[in-house]
Structure 1
Amino acid sequence: MRRRQFLGSGAIAGITVGLTHSPPQARANPTLLKPAPLRPGDTLGIISPAGATFQQEELDIVVDAVRGLGLVPRVAPHAMSRYGYLAGTDEERAADLNAFFADPTITALMPIRGDWGSARILPYLNYDLIRQNPKVLVGFSDITALLLGIHAQTGLVTFHGPHGLTAWRPDQTQPFRQLLFEGAAQRFENPRLGEDADRLMQTRGRIQTITPGQATGKLLGGNLSVVSGIVGSPYMPETAGAILFLEDLGESLYRVDRMLTQLKLAGVFDGLAGFIFGQCARCGPGQDYGSLTLEEILQDHVQPLSIPAWSGAWIGHVEPMWTLPLGSPVRVDATAGTIQMMEPAVG
């Protein structure tokens, strides 16, 4: 299908609302703001806030996924634009988000993909507009910058979850519906996948407890590389008292060590209530002789915090993908490796 079939007049109206290049001031713990739950027949805006999509077929796949969820897709005007490896200029990508938040007929926003570029548009977003029009925003990887930046500036609960191009099998789709349509307060624990389903022991997604215990706090986090890139900006939420989760993909272990060191030196670990490290696919020592292991790096940085902490959570570039509510209160158990929501994330 051509994207113009899904463009309503409301998607274009007000497209330049709130464009600015003046960074807002940091906000200290804004009041928690929940989006309305989704309902069958609601309109979901398909956006491209980061990397370019080069093939129409990929957009068509996302459109079909949105329809399969029982929602009506509307494609942003610049979803298929290109500026090098980006989906249009910073101003164009930000304008799509501002317009969709301003449009009362749109209930949720979801990106086609991540890649890189979300952090570049943070100074161009209209946070007063977003605060006045709370909506479901879901994504992961590079979209971490949007999830954390918007939460930091508005208090809006955002969702670390699927992109349009993820698999959307039942083990991902059903929890997504329960969380965002039904308002369930979910419990997250690692699945037993493939051959592990009938084995005596689990071999994939094993929990490694760093420090045992239970803790409560608001859930924050996302991709380690992206989080380390916005530290010190007004788009990084206050982490004192929070449960912080991190994940990454394809990073050398010395780079993981360096980014965790950066977070530590910047004070991100100060006052944390709990810590979770998810999956780090293709993160290995490579040809680095005598490299520290990921387990050793996490022990060095996290164990001295003396807070409930574990690694191996089923969070990251993995399938099925959890939909985690950022900013919402949770209770964690570092021995069992579980996250329990304390209240619905929509309302």
Structure 2
Amino acid sequence: MNRETFLQLIGIGGMAPFFNYKAAMVDGKGVIKPKALSRGDTIGLISPAGIIGDDTDYDKIVERIQQLGYKTKEGANARRKYGYLAGTDEQRAADLNAMFADPSVDAVMPFRGGWGCNRILDLINYELIQKHPKILVGFSDITSLLLAIQAKTGLTTFHGPVAKVVWTTFTKRHFHKLLGSSALTTLRRRSLHVSKEYDRLNIIRPGQARGRLLGGNLSVLTAMIGSDYLPEWEGSILFLEDVGEDVYRIDRMLTQLKLSGILDRISALVFGQCTACDISDEHGFTLREILDQHIKPLQIPAFSGALFGHIDHMGTLPVGISAELNAGEGSITLLESAVRT
């Protein structure tokens, strides 16, 4: 079989769009859990969004992932450059589809986020992904892929590190534990001694609630509203993070979530870190005031300052898995395993 025939069989040769595909969901809420990731397994590295730099930069990142104990396999287009994108939309989507089709690849991880994942959502072969489920992990712009794939296939995805992150001891420990075992982990705000570096725990409204964990980067999520690539929000625990946004933009995006009906359907909310989110107007609101204004009226358990987002010490959260949020403790505890062992 030649390469062209192979690509056509898995749906990426002619890049026929699959946006009309609807996954068959058990009881309307079925979840597909990927196989756990063990050291020695192969991580497929792709670039579905932005570029990084020259080959030396990529080589250093590949070496870092290998030092974590994994083998690596790069997408055919992973180092391409097309303006500020890592290849054309078709090339970037082709690598994602090919990694899920490749039986030698155990998990898929982007080199970085940036911008561009929204542009390939209608080029993804969701039926292929559902038939060949495996771990997909990333954050920031990768939110598009995490939510779309979870919504279309039922596959649990993971909001966590991309390949280029710092990989601190905390980041590695949480990554290995969540993706490598069936342990019911807890992401707890007070568990990290370096917490002074980040936004402090802010209890917006105390209480406990259970629901499916859904969310990601606020900017990316709001850019997806109105599309066919978002999950059902009813009763979910919404988690959000962002970077480099003026507080008034956070206000605008939370307003959009309210007007779209998302905030009225969730059972709880946690805002992670809003890194470098500044106030440009001396008469403006603080981030805490904006969160209070939007979240307190919902009368649901909520807190901010959780350890996920654009930070070095990064927790990993499964998208689509049942969890319990305890706002008073600043904790998120999984109620079921995120992977199958």
TM-score calculated relative to the size of structure 1: 0.91
Equivalents in 2 of 1:14, 1:168: separation in Å? 36
Residue 35 of structure 1 contacts residue 346 of structure 1 at CA under 8 Å; is this kept in 2?
Answer: yes
Determine if the alignment matches structure 1 residue 322 to structure 2 residue 315. yes
Give the CA deviation at 1:23.
2.8
Task: Name the counterpart of 1:337.
Answer: 330
- 1:66 counterpart SS class: helix
One-letter amino acid of the structure 2 residue matched with residue 267 of structure 1: G
Residue 141 of structure 1 contacts residue 222 of structure 1 at CA under 8 Å; is this kept in 2?
Answer: yes
User: What residue ranges of structure 1 are gaps of 5+ in the alignment?
Assistant: 1-8, 197-201
Task: Name the counterpart of 2:84.
Answer: 85
Task: Name the counterpart of 2:234.
Answer: 240
Give the CA deviation at 1:212.
0.7
Residue 22 of structure 2 contacts residue 153 of structure 2 at CA under 8 Å; is this kept in 1?
Answer: no
One-letter amino acid of the structure 2 residue matched with residue 340 of structure 1: T
- 1:106 counterpart SS class: coil
Task: Name the counterpart of 1:109.
Answer: 108
- Which 10-residue stretch deviates more, 153-162 or 165-174? 165-174
Determine if the alignment matches structure 1 residue 24 to structure 2 residue 20. yes
Equivalents in 2 of 1:168, 1:324: separation in Å? 16
Task: Name the counterpart of 1:289.
Answer: 282
Going from structure 1 to structure 2, the CA distance change for 1:69 and 1:114 (only over 3 Å counts) comes to: same
Equivalents in 2 of 1:13, 1:336: separation in Å? 55
- Name the count of aligned residue pairs: 332
One-letter amino acid of the structure 2 residue matched with residue 335 of structure 1: G
- Which 10-residue stretch deviates more, 213-222 or 31-40? 31-40
One-letter amino acid of the structure 2 residue matched with residue 53 of structure 1: I
Task: Name the counterpart of 1:165.
Answer: 164
User: What residue ranges of structure 2 are gaps of 5+ in the alignment?
Assistant: none
Task: Name the counterpart of 1:3.
Answer: none
Give the CA deviation at 1:192.
3.3
Give the CA deviation at 1:22.
5.7
Give the CA deviation at 1:183.
2.3
> Alignment partner for residue 217 of structure 2, among 216, 223, 234?
223
Residue 43 of structure 1 contacts residue 73 of structure 1 at CA under 8 Å; is this kept in 2?
Answer: yes
Determine if the alignment matches structure 1 residue 310 to structure 2 residue 306. no
Q: Deviations over 1:79-101 (max 9, x none)?
A: 01111000001011001111110
Equivalents in 2 of 1:315, 1:244: separation in Å? 13
> Alignment partner for residue 277 of structure 1, among 271, 278, 288?
271
- 2:106 counterpart SS class: strand
One-letter amino acid of the structure 2 residue matched with residue 110 of structure 1: M
- Which 10-residue stretch deviates more, 139-148 or 294-303? 294-303
Equivalents in 2 of 1:10, 1:50: separation in Å? 28
Give the CA deviation at 1:115.
0.5
Task: Name the counterpart of 2:55.
Answer: 56
Equivalents in 1 of 2:260, 2:3: separation in Å? 39
Determine if the alignment matches structure 1 residue 212 to structure 2 residue 202. no
- 2:44 counterpart SS class: strand
Give the CA deviation at 1:293.
1.4
One-letter amino acid of the structure 2 residue matched with residue 273 of structure 1: S
Q: Deviations over 1:49-95 (max 9, x none)?
A: 00023211221122112212221100100001111000001011001
Task: Name the counterpart of 1:193.
Answer: 193
Equivalents in 2 of 1:64, 1:37: separation in Å? 22
Task: Name the counterpart of 1:199.
Answer: none
Equivalents in 2 of 1:237, 1:171: separation in Å? 30
Determine if the alignment matches structure 1 residue 253 to structure 2 residue 247. yes
Q: Deviations over 1:1-42 (max 9, x none)?
A: xxxxxxxx9999834532234632677854100000112321
Give the CA deviation at 1:261.
0.6
Going from structure 1 to structure 2, the CA distance change for 1:14 and 1:62 (only over 3 Å counts) comes to: farther
Q: Deviations over 1:248-279 (max 9, x none)?
A: 11111111111111111111112211001111
> Alignment partner for residue 6 of structure 2, among 2, 14, 26?
14
TM-score calculated relative to the size of structure 2: 0.92
Equivalents in 2 of 1:110, 1:335: separation in Å? 33
One-letter amino acid of the structure 1 residue matched with residue 327 of structure 2: A
One-letter amino acid of the structure 1 residue matched with residue 283 of structure 2: G
Residue 26 of structure 1 contacts residue 235 of structure 1 at CA under 8 Å; is this kept in 2?
Answer: no
- Which 10-residue stretch deviates more, 148-157 or 184-193? 184-193
Going from structure 1 to structure 2, the CA distance change for 1:203 and 1:177 (only over 3 Å counts) comes to: closer
Residue 15 of structure 1 contacts residue 98 of structure 1 at CA under 8 Å; is this kept in 2?
Answer: no
Going from structure 1 to structure 2, the CA distance change for 1:10 and 1:146 (only over 3 Å counts) comes to: farther
- 1:38 counterpart SS class: coil
One-letter amino acid of the structure 2 residue matched with residue 216 of structure 1: R
Task: Name the counterpart of 1:5.
Answer: none
Equivalents in 1 of 2:2, 2:212: separation in Å? 34
Determine if the alignment matches structure 1 residue 143 to structure 2 residue 142. yes
Identical pairs, percent: 47
